[in-house]
Amino acid sequence: MTETIGRPILEAPIAQGAHDQHMILNMGPQHPSMHGVLRLVVEIDGEIVVRLYPEIGYLHTGIEKTCEAKFYHQVVPLTDRLDYLSPMANNLCYCLAVERLLSLEIPEKAEWLRVLLSELTRLNSHLIWLGTHAMDIGALTVFLYTFREREEILRIFEGLAGQRMMTSYFRIGGLSMEPPLDFFDRVQGFIRTFPEKIDEYSNLLTGNPIFKGRLKGVGMLSAADAIALGVTGPNMRGSGVDFDLRRDMPYSSYEKFQFKVPIATEGDCWARYEIRLIEMRESVKIIQQALDGMPEGPIKADAPKIVLPDREKMKTQMEALIHHFKIVTEGFAVPAGEVYQGIESPRGQMGYYVVSDGTAKPYRVHFRNPSFATLQAVETMCKGRMLADVVAVVGSIDIVLGEIDR
């Protein structure tokens, strides 16, 4: 690790004319391969990347400031908008943090359903990554295939929460409502056929000489650099660092599930591709375990002053109506303190830091999003490579600008 510590990275903005033979090239903010509004300022010598500098903030909406003006339960829909490709992971992270502030126990069924939904979200997110990444490289077919499967996941989400993407299905204290009657059958039907679909993608890509040539040995990131630059998740595991919060610091009853954490040591784009394919297979196993062992019971904690009552009770019982009115108009007070909750989102370690001053609104909410840190490693991965490899690298690290800019 010693050679990376203290090495200056991303030192200063790149200025035109610093070197006569070099050209400054802006990739983005409007560029089809930049996955949103990422701008990369690239200094190139011919076609070789000399320096690279990410400029972000084009999508900054001040969500952290907005949170400070909302009641705790009103923040849940805001978290969907951060990493909009894996809303359930964001919901989960926020709800877990506030539940720990409240010292609130969650029913087992809610925890298991949360695990199931987190893994479905992971499939959803990895499918988009695979489709767009392959499309960036020039393999257009896979995109249509992955979106076919993603559509089924979104339909399951729609049946569950009424929304396809911004589900806001999690609540502080559990889940918003019982899943529909056909939910478990649909999930079972989906994951029964899904492993074959992964084989199908693999058949299209893994043996494809162009895809291989574009990814193998490209975007190298050593284990020491990954740790020094804050890279997490599949990108870190592709560099040989064996750490996964689901296994090593389990939350939401992940300790009850058996799954493997794939590791690759090469640290190139190809390793990251393979890791995510295996992760999808492991997610299917976790979902199967969740379906097989789904406990019975309520999906909301028994905390009438925090959890909204069922509509039926609210309309028939005086007490439930009062609680409903109180929670909606005044929120609920959360004991003073600070909590940092980390989860393994599809993109890496996500962490929500929630500070309470004892009132009904969060004093400070901070989102530690994996893509933000991963972006710092792009220069290390691209330096000395061809300009076309930048596209492969940015595709392979799977970033979402919504959570970078917040």
Partner 1 sequence: MTEAKTFIGKTAVLEGLAGNPAVKAVLAWNPEALLDAKFDRGELTLTIAAGQIRAAAATVQAAGYNFFEDVTAVDWFPSSPRFQLSYHIVSHSHKERIRLAVMLDGAAPTVESITPVWPAANFYEREVFDLFGISFEGHPNLRRIMMPDDWQGHPLRKDYPVEGYR
- Pick the closest to residue 96 from 354, 360, 370, 404 (CA basis): 354
| 12 vs 181, beta carbon nearer partner 1 | 12
In sequence order, what are the residues at sequence separation of 6 or more whose Cβ sits closer than 8 angstroms to the Cβ of residue 40?
26, 27, 28, 34, 52, 53, 54, 55, 378, 390, 394
Q: What is the dihedral of CA 26, 32, 37, 41, to 10 degrees?
A: -20
Residue for token pair 């199967």: 288
Backbone angles phi, psi at 110, to 5 degrees: -65, -40
The verdict on 6 binding partner 1 (CB under 8 A) reads: yes
- 284-312 b/e with 16+ CB inside 10 Å = b? bbbbbbbeeeeeeeebbbebbebbbbeee
Binding to partner 1 (CB under 8 A) within 16-75 occurs at: 56-57, 60, 62, 64-65, 69
b/e per residue, 362-399, with b = 16+ CB within 10 A? beebebbbbbbbbbebbbbbbeebebebbbbbbbbbbb
Whether cis (ω within 30° of 0) applies to the bond prior to 29 is yes
Distances (CA, A) of 131 to 107, 139, 147: 36, 9, 7
DSSP string, 222-239: -HHHHHHTT--HHHHHTT
CB of 338 to partner 1, least distance (A): 7
Residue 160's alpha-carbon distances to 49, 163, 254, in angstroms, are 47, 8, 22
Closest separation between CB of residue 281 and partner 1, Å? Answer: 24
Of 12, 21, 196, 305, the one binding partner 1 by CB under 8 A: 12
Residue 207 beta carbon to partner 1: minimum distance, rounded to whole angstroms: 35
Number of residues interacting with partner 1: please give it, by CB under 8 A.
49
User: Please, what is the minimum distance in Å from the beta carbon of residue 79 to partner 1?
Assistant: 16
CB-facing half-sphere around the CA of 353: CA atoms within 13 A = 6
Choosing from 243, 256, 288, 291, the residue that interacts with partner 1 (CB under 8 A) is 243
| Per-residue mark of binding to partner 1, 92-131 (x: CB under 8 A) | --------xx-x-x--------------------------
* 183 or 363: CB nearest partner 1: 363
Query: 184 vs 243, which CB is nearer to partner 1?
Result: 243
Task: Name residue 44's beta-bridge partners.
Answer: 23, 49
Considering beta carbons, is residue 30 or 203 the nearer one to partner 1?
30
Q: For residues 6 and 17, which CB has a smaller minimum distance to partner 1 in the complex?
A: 6
**Smallest separation (angstroms) from partner 1 to the CB of 58:** 10
Q: Does residue number 241 form part of the binding site for partner 1 (CB under 8 A)?
A: yes
Compare residues 231 and 275 and give the one whose CB is closer to partner 1.
Answer: 231
207: contact with partner 1 by CB under 8 A: no
What is the Cα–Cα distance from 375 to 312, expressed in whole angstroms?
48
Query: How far apart (Å, rounded) are the C-alpha atoms in residues 107 and 257?
Result: 17
Angle subtended by helix axes 183-205 and 269-292, to nearest 10: 160
Could you say whether residue 328 binds partner 1 (CB under 8 A)? Answer: no
Backbone φ, ψ for residue 249 (5° rounding):
-135, 70
Among 44, 161, 228, 399, binds partner 1 (CB under 8 A): 228
Tell me how far, at minimum, the Cβ of 45 lies from partner 1, in Å.
22
Residue 249 in contact with partner 1, rule: CB under 8 A: yes
Is 172 one of the binding residues for partner 1 (CB under 8 A)?
no
- Closer to partner 1 by CB, 97 or 123: give it: 97
Q: Which of residues 360-399 bind partner 1 (CB under 8 A)?
A: 363-364, 366, 368, 372-373, 375-376
Which residue lies nearer to partner 1 by CB, 241 or 269?
Answer: 241
Q: Taking CB under 8 A as the rule, does residue 240 contact partner 1?
A: no
Residues that bind partner 1 (CB under 8 A): 4-13, 56-57, 60, 62, 64-65, 69, 100-101, 103, 105, 227-230, 241-243, 248-249, 337-340, 342, 349, 351, 353, 355, 363-364, 366, 368, 372-373, 375-376, 405-406
